[in-house]
């Protein structure tokens, strides 16, 4: 009986370990992500709607920039100078599985308003080094590294805004809880999750009908060993509680990939000047495309208010 019990426990343990490796390779390792295709929670229209921005960005004088992260990884991204001299900068932070220039539509918005535009590729994405996805946790320090570079290059009088979408939205919120340089004036977070634990537990149940325990716990331990962080520490909501700059929260009302309920939790946790905009009928990362006029207006109003400038279209 004892032998059978040991064998049974061994089989269960081996199965759980195999499952944790599977989920690590699926979600954290820099592998192709087939679950993002034909996903009921993601809009099929996004690629088509992004096309005008992609056409525009290819015509711009982009400069490929390289900086070294705190842990030695080489990070790369594209920089677009303003049309006229300016001290305003935006760092655009892309989402899971993407690249910096995916946010070309936002780059156009800021570029027309006279901003320097920095579009980093997150670690493990695009041209940047790395063999894992940081889900915003290590990326928050990378975001500060890009800030250091831009201040050194463009001057200490610079006014910097961080604008992220999806995982990028969580990244800029995780950055908000750090000791920020005075040049960072405000943060715009679009469709961010509250924490890595929460969003992966939600996705595990929605996609696989599996409980978060023990699978998520095992995968978190493996992620700590291979990528250097536990899911429990990668929390946007804990970081937002320590925020010191104004934050604009944006989310789609029809978001079922990162549930809309999360933005209300984040907004409530924020102790600083804040604004919340929920776009009706917008699915995940579709708020801008669903209602560009409202999106432009709220971003413009937020930025101008912080800069204490007259309102005009961004």
> What digits encode the pLDDT tens for the residues 107-124?
999 999 999 999 999 999
For position 15, what pLDDT does the model report?
53
Please name the residues in contact with 110: beta carbons below 8 A apart, sequence gap of 6 or more: 90, 92, 117, 163, 314
CATH topology of domain 45-195+234-307: Rossmann fold (3.40.50)
Q: Give the per-residue pLDDT at 215.
A: 86
Considering the entire predicted model, what is its pTM? 0.93
Q: Which residue has the tokens 């999106």?
A: 295
Whole-Å CA distances, 268 to 210, 227, 264, 265: 29, 31, 6, 5
Which positions ≥6 away from 152 have C-beta within 8 Å? none
Q: How many angstroms separate the Cα of 160 from the Cα of each of 68, 92, 179, 186, 188? A: 20, 11, 15, 7, 11
pLDDT of residue 7: 43
Q: What pLDDT does 3 receive?
A: 55
Averaged pLDDT, groups of 10, the chain, 314 residues long: 48 60 92 85 90 97 98 98 97 98 98 98 98 98 99 98 99 99 99 98 87 86 96 98 99 98 99 98 98 98 90 55
Q: What is the pLDDT of residue 8?
A: 42
Cβ atoms within 10 A of the Cβ of 22, count? Answer: 12
The predicted structure's pLDDT at residue 154? 98
User: In the chain, what are the domain boundaries?
Assistant: 45-195+234-307
pLDDT value of position 212: 72
Alpha helices for 113-260 (secondary structure H): 137-154, 167-176, 196-208, 215-227, 236-240
CB 31 within 8 A of CB 132: no
Per-residue pLDDT at 11: 39
The CA radius of gyration of the chain, in Å to the nearest whole number, is 20
């Amino acid at each position: 009986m004892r032998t059978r019990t040991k064998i049974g426990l061994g089989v269960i343990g081996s199965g759980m370990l195999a499952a944790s490796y599977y989920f690590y390779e699926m979600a954290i390792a820099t592998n192709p992500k087939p679950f993002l295709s034909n996903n009921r929670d993601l809009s099929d229209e996004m690629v088509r709607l992004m096309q005008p921005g992609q056409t525009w960005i290819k015509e711009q004088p982009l400069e490929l920039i390289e900086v070294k992260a705190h842990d030695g990884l080489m990070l790369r991204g594209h920089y677009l100078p303003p049309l006229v001299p300016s001290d305003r900068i935006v760092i655009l932070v892309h989402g899971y599985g993407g690249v910096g220039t995916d946010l070309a539509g936002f780059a156009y918005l800021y570029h027309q308003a006279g901003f320097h535009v920095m579009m980093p590729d997150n670690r493990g994405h695009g041209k940047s080094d790395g063999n894992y996805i940081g889900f915003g946790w290590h990326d928050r320090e990378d975001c500060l590294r890009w800030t250091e570079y831009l201040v050194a290059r463009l001057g200490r009088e610079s006014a910097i805004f961080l604008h992220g979408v999806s995982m990028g939205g969580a990244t800029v919120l995780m950055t908000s809880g750090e000791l920020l340089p005075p040049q960072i004036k405000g943060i715009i977070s679009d469709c961010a999750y509250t924490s890595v634990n929460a969003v992966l537990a939600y996705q595990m149940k929605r996609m696989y009908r599996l409980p978060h325990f023990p699978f998520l716990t095992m995968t978190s331990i493996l992620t700590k060993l291979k990528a250097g962080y536990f899911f429990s520490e990668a929390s946007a909501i804990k970081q937002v509680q320590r925020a010191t700059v104004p934050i604009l929260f944006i989310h789609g009302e029809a978001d079922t990939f990162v549930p809309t309920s999360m933005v209300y939790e984040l907004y409530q946790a924020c102790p600083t000047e804040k604004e919340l905009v929920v776009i009706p009928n917008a699915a995940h990362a579709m708020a801008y495309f669903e209602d560009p006029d409202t999106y432009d207006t709220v971003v413009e109003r937020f930025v101008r208010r912080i800069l204490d400038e007259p309102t005009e279209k961004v």
